[in-house]
């Protein structure tokens, strides 16, 4: 992480939000419009007005309306919420750890959330009072425990907690948790197809029920991070300096880690493991618009949402009618970016 914030003047800041919102709106339109049946903008407007009861239902094509409302719209919204959750969680982890390589995937948090989800599917757990929210709740708990264990283990190995140590620790935990998931898959029977299909990552055939599952956790986690943006700025200078600036370091760290775990756990619960979305988007946002988390977090949220909507669009259309897992698309984009970040960080370390 750069030690000095890049200053963003008011005009550039406005431009950043205009570009991010425009990118999200275009992504939403393309995601809803393009598919086996192409739906032009005029029909989309008619369907939207019909949903709002502005025009009579007779003026709306019912077939297209069904496709949009019951199939594409929930899928696009779910992809957007997942992308926003992973991107804003990645931005928070990178800021907290002062590490541009940190994200839910490389830190093992996604793997921890995956274990929680697979355990729920494997044993058919249902927590009292939570009902269908059991899946995201257990994913969140496992993801939170994983990030704590990764940081504790990294601190035991290297008190300075260098970038390489944290990343390697995350990879170790991720590999171990992946082995646990493989073991559960090997022992399962009828649930095998469901678990493997979920692990591949995707938002197809999820419907509005999954949007309802992730939405409250997305709101809670995002608000927690946004309210701690100033403290996150201070923490990027180091814990000691943040303490002297009046930040309750331990409390803020726990709040940020908890919020990131909530977002990651809920996203993994509804979409499976999708790598690199939390790594690429915050890094690009910082390169373009600076390191002030008061703006990095919302801009990452907007950009990450649009990015995953487009990734899902590519995944379901590039070799239609066969659909690829979204994780394949994000990995094809994210892996080269990850390699470039790693090489740049090595070069800077040698200077």
Residue 2 lies in a domain: no
pLDDT, tens digit only, all 351 positions of the chain: 444 444 445 568 888 999 999 999 999 999 999 988 888 888 888 888 777 777 776 667 788 888 899 999 999 999 999 999 999 999 999 998 887 778 888 788 888 998 988 888 778 788 888 788 888 999 999 999 998 898 888 888 877 666 677 778 888 898 899 888 888 777 766 566 667 767 777 888 788 999 999 999 999 999 999 999 999 999 888 888 888 888 888 889 889 989 999 999 999 989 988 888 888 899 889 888 888 999 999 999 999 999 999 999 999 999 888 888 888 898 888 788 777 777 776 666 555
Q: Is 319 helix (H, G, I), strand (E, B) or coil?
A: strand
Contacts of 313 (CB under 8 A, 6+ apart): 27, 30, 31, 34
**What count of residues does the chain have?**
351
d(CA 262, CA 260): 5
Residue 3 lies in a domain: no
- DSSP letter at 71 equals I
Which CATH number is 109's domain given? 1.10.3470.10
pTM above 0.75, yes or no: yes
> Which residues does residue 319 pair with via DSSP β-bridges, in sequence order?
322
Residue 140 lies in a domain: yes
Q: What's the total number of domains in the chain?
A: 1
Residue 224 lies in a domain: yes
Nearest to 101 by CA among 153, 150, 165: 165
Q: Is 238 helix (H, G, I), strand (E, B) or coil?
A: coil
Phi, psi (5° rounding) for residue 297? Answer: -65, -55
Residue 327 lies in a domain: yes
Residue 4 lies in a domain: no
Cα dihedral 161→162→165→168 (10° resolution): 130
**58 within 8 A of 341, measured Cβ to Cβ:** no
Residue 130 lies in a domain: yes
Contacts of 79 (CB under 8 A, 6+ apart): 31, 203, 271, 305, 308, 309, 311, 312, 326
- DSSP letter at 322 equals B
Nearest to 118 by CA among 90, 142, 99: 142
Structural domain containing residue 238: 10-350
Residue 201 lies in a domain: yes
């Amino acid at each position: 992480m750069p030690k000095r914030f890049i200053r963003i003047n008011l005009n550039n800041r406005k431009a950043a939000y205009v570009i991010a919102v425009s990118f999200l709106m275009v992504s939403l339109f393309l995601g809803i419009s393009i598919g086996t049946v192409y739906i032009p903008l005029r029909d989309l407007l008619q369907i939207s007005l019909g949903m709002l009861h502005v025009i009579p239902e007779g003026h709306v094509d019912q077939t297209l309306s069904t496709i949009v409302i019951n199939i594409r719209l929930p899928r696009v919204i779910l992809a957007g919420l997942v992308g926003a959750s992973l991107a804003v969680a990645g931005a928070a982890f990178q800021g907290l750890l002062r590490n541009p390589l940190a994200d839910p995937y490389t830190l093992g948090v996604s793997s921890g959330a995956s274990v929680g989800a697979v355990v729920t599917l494997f044993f058919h757990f249902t927590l009292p009072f939570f009902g269908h929210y059991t899946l995201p709740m257990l994913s969140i708990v496992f993801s939170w425990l994983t990030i704590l264990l990764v940081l504790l283990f990294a601190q035991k190995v290297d008190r300075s907690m260098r970038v390489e140590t944290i990343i390697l620790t995350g990879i170790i935990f991720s590999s171990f948790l992946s082995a646990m998931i493989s073991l559960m898959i090997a022992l399962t029977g009828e649930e095998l197809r469901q678990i493997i299909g979920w692990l591949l990552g995707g938002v197809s055939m999820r419907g509005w029920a999954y949007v309802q599952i992730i939405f409250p956790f997305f709101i809670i986690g995002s608000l927690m991070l946004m309210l701690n943006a100033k403290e996150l700025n201070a923490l990027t200078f180091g814990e000691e300096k943040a303490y002297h600036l009046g930040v309750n370091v331990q409390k803020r760290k726990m709040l940020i880690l908890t919020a990131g775990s909530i977002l990651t756990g809920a996203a993994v619960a509804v979409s499976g493991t999708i790598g690199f979305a939390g790594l690429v988007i915050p890094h690009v946002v910082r390169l373009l618009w600076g390191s002030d988390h008061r703006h990095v977090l919302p801009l990452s949220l907007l950009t990450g949402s649009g990015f995953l909507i487009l990734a899902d669009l590519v995944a379901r259309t590039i070799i239609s009618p066969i659909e690829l897992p979204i994780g394949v698309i994000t990995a094809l984009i994210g892996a080269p970016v990850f390699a470039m970040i790693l090489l740049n960080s090595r070069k800077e370390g040698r200077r």
